[in-house]
Structures are given as structure tokens and as C-alpha cells.
Structure 1
Amino acid sequence: MELKFPKDFWLGAATSGPQLEGRFNKKHANIFDYDFEKFPEHFWHGIGPDVASNFYNDFREDIRLMKKAGLNSVRTSIQWSRLIDDLEEGTVNPEAVEFYNAVIDEFLSNGIRPIINLHHFDLPVELLHKYGGWANKQVISFYVKYAEQCFRLFGDRVSDWFTHNEPMVVVEGGYLYQFHYPDLVDGKLAVQVAYNLQLASSLAIQKYREVNQNSDGKIGIILNLSPNYPASQDKEDIAAAHFADLWQNRLFMDASVKGKFPNELVEILTLSQFFRVT
């Protein structure tokens, strides 16, 4: 029996600006650009983001191949470090605007729906070094300015937006497990960064609703949710799995969907004192 996809089925793929574009013609470095420049040994076989897949130069041919493969939707991202000239004021780089306009138009002319994410782990490194990155609420205001520029510049053609890709990776990679720059192990900072990432997402969504140019427009957040199972039925293992679910899944999920962090998680972190956020 022949099975057919529904007419409105999205057959797509997902990637990001820092994974695709390369560092060509960028005024600012993001944390991956800086990490590769300073510590190339952190990258598999020394292969880093300078060229990536060269999408910056080859996007028309790449999108043609996506269409040939049968894709009708693609999720990628805009690089904050490419689009914005003055990171504090939020002014844009004209060449970057021209590039992203061309990419979006090329997707659409090939019948591919562009789904755009705003932050794929790629914080401009200047904001980390000068302000402390996502640990500082001032950076949230810079992010919202960047998001607003994206909505105003591209919202007439892009109807599907995301604020962050897998924000827990930023928290755990940068502040607990040392697999993303700044490679710290600091539980208090990890919790503060998680809180601020969620606040940034919420404020960007609020801004989107103010400037949305598309009646069909939607915005959300991409979460990497992980089911947690106890190693045994011992009460300690059950409690550990429950806390892992609160931290890994419900922290961002509840705040994004219900508008509040789980009370139990807040109580645990508050009672610990070590994790107090401001």
C-alpha cells in the first residue's frame, strides 16, 4: 500500500548560522569564533567555524540542492554577531541585512519555508568579556534590540520564529560541564544564566507581539527535553530522577508554557542558598 504525506506536511531539516555560514565579513566574533581562534584543540580535528559549510558564499546552490532533496522547510538561524554592528545600540550591518534578505528570498523562491531561530548558542563574545554574557541582565536588553531588528527586517516574509535553540545546552555547556566557552564550573552562575535566558526569551516574545508583521506569525523556543528514569526504585534514585526532570525539562518548559518556573524547583534552589538568583 502506498502511503502519502498530508498536503501540509513539513519535510525539513535543521541547522544554524554558526554551523553553516562561516566567519566571512563578520564585524564581531561569537563564542565559537573566539574559542576556535584561541583554542583550536577544542574542536574535532581542528575543524572550526571560520568556513563551516561555506553557506555564506554557496547559499544559492545549497538551497537548490535542498529543494532537489524534497525539502519544503528549513530551520536555520541569524547570527547576532553578523547582523548587528553596534551590539549595545542594536544598529544593523547593511551587508548582513542584504545577505539575510537574499537567503530568505532564495528559500521562498524555491518553495522552502524559512524557520528562523535567533540564538543558537552563539553569543557575541564581546558581550561575554565586557558584561559577563547571559549572567548579566544588561545583555538581555541587547538581545531584545537584536530580536526586534530581525522581526522588523524579515518578519514580512518569515512567519515562524524561535528565541533560543536548546538553552539548557548554554547553561550546562558553559557553566557546568565545560564543553562550550567560557568552560566554567559554577553552579550559581549556571542558575543565573538559565533564569536570564528564559527572561530574554519572554521579553523577545513580547517584542515580537508588538511588531509582528504577519497575521499567521508564530514564535516559540526550542527545548531539548530528556526523559529521566531512576536507576532503581530506591527513594534516593527516584528523588534524583525527579530533580533531573525539574532541572532539565520543566525549568524552561513550565516558564515558556505556563509563565512560571516550577515552585518545587524554585524552593530547592532557594533553600540551597548557593543557587540564589537576582
Structure 2
Amino acid sequence: MRSFYEVSSNILYNYIHSICNFLSVAQKINTRHFPTNFKFGVANAATQIEGGWDEDGKGETIWDHFAHYHPEKISDGSSPDVACDSYHKYKEDVALVKAMGLDYYRLSIAWSRILPTGYTNQVNQAGVDYYNKVFAELKANGIEPMVTLFHWDLPQPLEDELGGWLNIETANLFAEYAKLYYELFGDVVKIWLTINEPKQVCQLGYGTGGFAPGVVSNGVGEYVCAYNVILAHAKAYHIYDDDFRATQGGRVSMVIDTTWYEPGSESEEDKEASERILQFSVSYIHVDLKFVLSIRVIG
């Protein structure tokens, strides 16, 4: 099965523009059958849409590296180099979101656009300025931002120097990174998502090798990764809870995905089989999450 990263982002962008242009001419999304407090939104990921992969001081990510050095692993040979060019066209993107009548715009902040090396001792002001412009544009159009701190685009130096999510130190660095972003953008951003789909990060990035950074570990690496990723989430959560929630009034969560399975029949054997695959699909993330959040993590 092809991943959405393996689909040409330019084709996807043109498709979205066609839909949104139609909506802007015809009508906004019909929300009258939903409760008045039900909010609609759209989501993206920095690597999928931004482009400008090395502009204005941005550092290399594992997806930049993966696409440049292993293009054969991406079915159509596309890369994050230009993508949807949202780095230059963010005003057009926001206009499309407004035309659709949406309430929220969920975007991810590229770790390496603000911290080119992955470490907080080198802050790229051009990256800070870019996201402030995006948030200002959203505010001007009455759209609330939701921000994902990590949508799979680990800075390449952390992969080279530490082994990425196979090293617990990456969780500590993520906590420092999250704290910086709360400080930079917390007055505007009130909904934070720490990690997007940790199962995909770990199974495909550090298990089968199908996603960046392409590590093949025969299953061992994905469990190490899972622990460190969930620990990173817990650290970031507690930092916000301890130091920022009272003054900023925001919320912090994460994005957990799963494939759902149903038994092929009413037989006990099929029921047990579907339950078993569900456990293998989601439980290693959930077990780590329950364990890590049950301890007091000092950021």
C-alpha cells in the first residue's frame, strides 16, 4: 500500500485547489445537520505542503534526506523540495480554508525550520517569523490554528548523531523543543498536538524501513522508538501543564491512529484473531502511553 507521502504532493495540491475553487463558487460546507458547537477543520503536515526545504536557514529533515538519497523508495520520485509551495503560498491556503467555511486549520511546525540542527541553542529567526505570519493570516480570517509539534520530520542531525527515536535523548530534546514553541507561539496557539501517529513513525520508520529514516530492525526498533516517542509526548505534556497552562489556557494531546479489524465470522477463532491483530496494531503504543503518563515527568 502506498503511503500518502508517496503520492505527488503537486497533484494533491491541484486536486485540493479544484475542490476548493468549486466550493467557493457553489457553497460552503453544509453544516446545518451538525450541532452548533461542532467545529470543522482541515489538516496538513509541513513536509507534505511547505516546500522551501532549505530556504531561509531551514535545516535538513529525515524526509528531505530520505527523498534525496533514496528516491527509489518513493513510488513517483517526488520530494519535499517544493511540495505545495505553501512556504510562499500560505495566504492562498488560508483563503481556501476560509472559502470552505472551516473553523480550524491544523498545521505542523517543521522542527528544523526553527531549529536547523534540532537543538534549541540555534534558533532560526526566519522560521519563527514565517509561522508568526501564518498565525496572523489565520487570525485575520477568523480561523483558529491547531499545531502539531512533530509530524514525522525529525531533523537529520539528530538521526545522524543520536540514532533518532532509537535514542532516549531525542525525547529530552523534543521536550526542550516543545517548551520553546510554547514560549514562542503559546499566546496564539491554544490547541497543541505533540506527536502525529506514533505507530507510523515507529513501525514504518524504525521497523520495516518503509518511511524515513528507513531503519529496518525486524521489529525491535519500533518498540524502542514507541517508548521514546511516548516519553517525549509525556514530557511535553507535563511541561505545558506545569509552566504554561495557567497563563496560556491551552490544551495538549496527541494523534493516535489505528487500523480497525472485525472477525470474518462469528466463530471464536475469528474473534480471537481479530482481537489479536488489534492488540498488535495499537496496544504497544497504548501500553507505553499508560505507563509513561502514570509517572511524574519533569521537563
TM-score (norm 2): 0.79
Q: Report 1:1-278 matches (<5 A).
A: 3-22=32-51, 23=53, 24-183=55-214, 184-212=216-244, 214-231=247-264, 237-253=270-286, 255-256=288-289, 258-259=290-291
Structure 2 unaligned regions, length at least 5: 1-30, 294-299
Q: Decide whether the 8 Å contact of 1:90 with 1:142 is kept in 2.
A: no
Q: Distance in 2 between matches of 1:9 and 1:70?
A: 13
1:89 CA drift (Å): 4.0
1:35 CA drift (Å): 0.9
174-183 or 132-141, which deviates more? 174-183
Could you list the per-position Cα deviations for residues 166-222 of structure 1 after superposition, in whole angstroms to 9, with x for gaps in the alignment? 010011111333320232143111111111111111111011113325554111010
1:234 CA drift (Å): 6.4
1:238 CA drift (Å): 4.4
Q: Distance in 2 between matches of 1:38 and 1:123?
A: 16
Could you list the per-position Cα deviations for residues 226-248 of structure 1 after superposition, in whole angstroms to 9, with x for gaps in the alignment? 22334566666544433332232
Task: Give the number of aligned pairs.
Answer: 259
Q: Mark the CA change 1:145 to 1:73 in structure 2 (over 3 Å): closer, same or farther.
A: same
18-27 or 246-255, which deviates more? 246-255
Q: Mark the CA change 1:91 to 1:7 in structure 2 (over 3 Å): closer, same or farther.
A: farther
- Tell me the secondary structure at the aligned position of residue 195 of structure 2: strand
Q: Mark the CA change 1:45 to 1:26 in structure 2 (over 3 Å): closer, same or farther.
A: farther
Q: Decide whether the 8 Å contact of 1:90 with 1:145 is kept in 2.
A: no
CA root-mean-square deviation: 2.3
Q: Decide whether the 8 Å contact of 1:151 with 1:211 is kept in 2.
A: no
- Tell me the secondary structure at the aligned position of residue 75 of structure 1: strand
Q: Distance in 2 between matches of 1:240 and 1:128?
A: 37
- Tell me the secondary structure at the aligned position of residue 203 of structure 1: helix
Q: Mark the CA change 1:97 to 1:51 in structure 2 (over 3 Å): closer, same or farther.
A: same
Structure 1 unaligned regions, length at least 5: 262-278
Could you list the per-position Cα deviations for residues 239-271 of structure 1 after superposition, in whole angstroms to 9, with x for gaps in the alignment? 443333223223334554x4569xxxxxxxxxx
- Tell me the secondary structure at the aligned position of residue 44 of structure 1: coil
Letter in 1 for 2:257: N
Q: Distance in 2 between matches of 1:92 and 1:235?
A: 57
Q: Mark the CA change 1:65 to 1:254 in structure 2 (over 3 Å): closer, same or farther.
A: same
48-57 or 206-215, which deviates more? 206-215
1:131 CA drift (Å): 0.8
Letter in 1 for 2:250: G
Q: Decide whether the 8 Å contact of 1:26 with 1:82 is kept in 2.
A: yes
TM-score (norm 1): 0.85
Letter in 2 for 1:133: G
Q: Distance in 2 between matches of 1:181 and 1:86?
A: 17
Q: Distance in 2 between matches of 1:17 and 1:86?
A: 17
1:90 CA drift (Å): 4.4
- Tell me the secondary structure at the aligned position of residue 46 of structure 1: coil
Q: Distance in 1 between matches of 2:243 and 2:49?
A: 28
1:114 CA drift (Å): 0.4
Q: Decide whether the 8 Å contact of 1:90 with 1:146 is kept in 2.
A: no
Q: Distance in 1 between matches of 2:88 and 2:120?
A: 28
Letter in 2 for 1:190: E
Q: Taking every aligned residue pair, what percent have the same amino acid on both sides?
A: 32
Letter in 2 for 1:169: Q
